[in-house]
């Protein structure tokens, strides 16, 4: 049992080290900001799909230039795409089902305004799934902080009175801004902490 716990700690440390450059946070921030900027337009689908295909190549290029020369490169074991997709869809289905049940109990299941009003809270809870997954992989406290911020801002913008989906759009921009600022802060700190190694 002790050996298994140590192995888990080693895996978490490796994951933390591989993501200490802040690039993942920058990518999430750009994605959320893009979703906020294109929400309600025909470009919204592209704002969801394009990052899935472009971000891995972009991150690979940036890390090859700035990250790997400083801390080296290691390929970590990852969950298979089927397992990841199954977990994402399963979590999303549970959250949506709980929301519908709540609206049923409140007698607002057919009230479109209720879905618009509480869409920021729904977004916040959905994001928590990814943050908890990242926390489990890394053990990093910052993903717990992201979870609290996500739920907190989601509830705040749901309670406040907004027309249509404006609360959701503002939430996209706020959370996106938090991730972009955090990511660039981590990236600058990473460059300062890890000077480039000599060839």
| 148 inside domain | yes
37-50 pLDDT per residue, tens = 998 887 888 888 88
| 198 inside domain | no
Q: Which segment of 155-159, 178-182, 195-199 scores lowest on mean pLDDT?
A: 195-199
Range of the domain at 134: 2-193
**Structural domain tally of the chain?**
1
Q: Where are the beta strands (DSSP E) in 72-148?
A: none
CA distance 87 to 64: 30
| 199 inside domain | no
Q: Which two tokens stand for residue 52?
A: 């899935």
| 98 inside domain | yes
Is the entire prediction scored with pTM above 0.75?
Answer: yes
| 96 inside domain | yes
CA distance 111 to 104: 10
| 16 inside domain | yes
């Amino acid at each position: 049992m002790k050996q298994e716990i140590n192995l888990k700690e080693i895996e978490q440390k490796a994951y933390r080290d591989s993501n200490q450059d802040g690039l993942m946070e920058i990518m999430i921030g750009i994605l959320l900001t893009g979703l906020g900027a294109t929400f309600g337009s025909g470009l919204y689908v592209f704002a969801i799909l394009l990052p899935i295909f472009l971000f891995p190549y972009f991150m690979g290029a940036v890390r090859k230039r700035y990250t790997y020369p400083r801390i080296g490169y290691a390929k970590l074991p990852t969950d298979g795409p089927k397992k990841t997709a199954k977990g994402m869809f399963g979590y999303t289905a549970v959250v949506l089902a709980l929301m519908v049940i709540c609206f049923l109990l409140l007698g607002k299941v057919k009230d479109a305004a209720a879905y618009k009003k509480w869409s920021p809270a729904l977004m916040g809870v959905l994001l928590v799934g990814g943050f908890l997954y990242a926390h489990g992989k890394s053990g990093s406290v910052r993903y717990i902080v992201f979870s609290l911020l996500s739920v907190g801002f989601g509830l705040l913008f749901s309670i406040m009175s907004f027309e249509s989906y404006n609360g959701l759009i503002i939430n996209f921009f706020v959370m996106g801004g938090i991730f972009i600022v955090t990511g660039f802060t981590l990236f600058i700190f990473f460059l300062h902490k890890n000077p480039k190694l000599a060839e």
